[in-house]
Amino acid sequence: MFELLVKISGGESYYPIVVKNNPIENLREEIFEIIGKKNYLVVISEKVFKLYGKILRFPKNNLFILKDGEKEKNFKTYKKILEKALKLRLTRSDCIIAVGGGVCGDIAGFAASTYMRGINLIQIPTTLLACVDSSVGGKTGIDTAFGKNLVGSFYQPSVVLINTNFLKTLDERQFKTGMGEVVKYAFIEKSCKCEEEFNLINFLSLNSDRILARENDVLKELIRMCISLKISVVEKDEKEGGLRKILNFGHTYAHAVENLTKYEKYTHGEAVVKGIEFAFEFAQKRGLIVESYKFIAYDLMRKYNFKNIPNFDIKKIVNVMKLDKKAEADSIVFILPVECAEVQEYRLFDEDVFKYFDK
Ligand code: GLY
């Protein structure tokens, strides 16, 4: 077991991220040790409930079972969660507990941040993507017809509890989608300005077999590295005024791919990997990196055998990118590699992109 601390608001408050691989049966007691006799609502993903509902033994009355899929992250479900919390008569000192992947953490987190102007939140991520990214750093939100995560808040949990045993039952595709976010950290490592140096590119390259076999020790180490990098960024820029934008490496393109395929064809991580490939291609064409670094990146991604996504029409991609919430006055924000494990933000216009890619 190990614990990492996230210091926010300039160190005024902090919360722990606890990483364990003890039996999942113990989780309920671990939660009760934290919340004591407080009232609570558990928002749990349907998949996780089917697999672990019996051993977690939460009373039915305290459960909100969230159907799986990004399309559930909407106003209607958000309202239902709030109504369930109201029915349970939760007060501000009570607690909402999110048990599931990114969708579950985002919507339950948003409900927690707005219920009575903010109620305690415990994040229990059960997918690799949620462990290394979405459960840490306080982004919460829901999707609208106008785009993903357009309504939301920055709201930090009181504690994040990670148990790597949940990762054992993830299907291959879900595990790989998390690995998409993991490789992102490798290519932004130095820009995260973390005190500890990991050389994640090397780690991922040397340990691909053990990672893909989901060995507990290697997974715990991987999670420790990624979370440490994320904490380093979030502590310096909680509300994404500057540095935090580097966490969106590969994401502007990925969001466009997801949007163009109606969030049905590819998972978020698969789209992120495509976005990272595009960023390397673009950076090399613009002379920001040498070709050999691009090939190192491509080789690393090949080791994880990510789903191959075909190229999209660049004009269509750029048009959707302009709808991204980070876009401004017709310009698009690109996070591009500039050195090994270093990235930089660029604000570019259509022409800056089109001149490097065939339309
Ligand atoms: N997932 C990107 C962020 O938390 O900023």
Per DSSP bridges, beta strands 147-154 and 139-144 are antiparallel
pLDDT at site 109: 98
* Ligand 1 atom 3 nearest Cα: 247
To test the pocket of ligand 1, the residue of 244, 272, 343 to mutate (highest count of ligand atoms within 8 Å of its CB) is 244
Q: What percent of the chain has pLDDT over 90?
A: 86
Q: For ligand 1, is residue 244 a contact (CB within 6 Å)?
A: yes
- Per-residue pLDDT reduced to its tens digit, 309-340: 999 999 999 988 887 766 677 788 899 999 99
Alpha carbon distance 288, 286 (integer Å): 6
Q: What percent of the chain has pLDDT over 70?
A: 98
For the chain, the average pLDDT equals 94
Q: What angle do CA 124, 127, 128 make, to 5 degrees?
A: 110
- Per-residue pLDDT reduced to its tens digit, 112-128: 999 999 999 999 999 99
Known catalytic residue at 248: yes
Please, what's the b/e burial string for 50-88 (b: 16 or more CB within 10 A of its CB; e: otherwise)? eebbeebebeeeebbbbebebebbeeebbeebbebbeee
Q: What is the dihedral of CA 54, 170, 185, 100, to 10 degrees?
A: -30
| Alpha-carbon separation of residue 152 from 73, 267, 311 (angstroms) | 11, 21, 31
pLDDT at site 359: 61
pLDDT at site 326: 67
Dmax (CA) for the chain in angstroms is 62
Does residue 170 carry a pLDDT above 70?
Answer: yes
* pTM listed for this prediction: 0.95
In the chain, what are the domains?
A: 2-170 (3.40.50.1970), 179-357 (1.20.1090.10)
To test the pocket of ligand 1, the residue of 131, 133, 229, 343 to mutate (highest count of ligand atoms within 8 Å of its CB) is 133
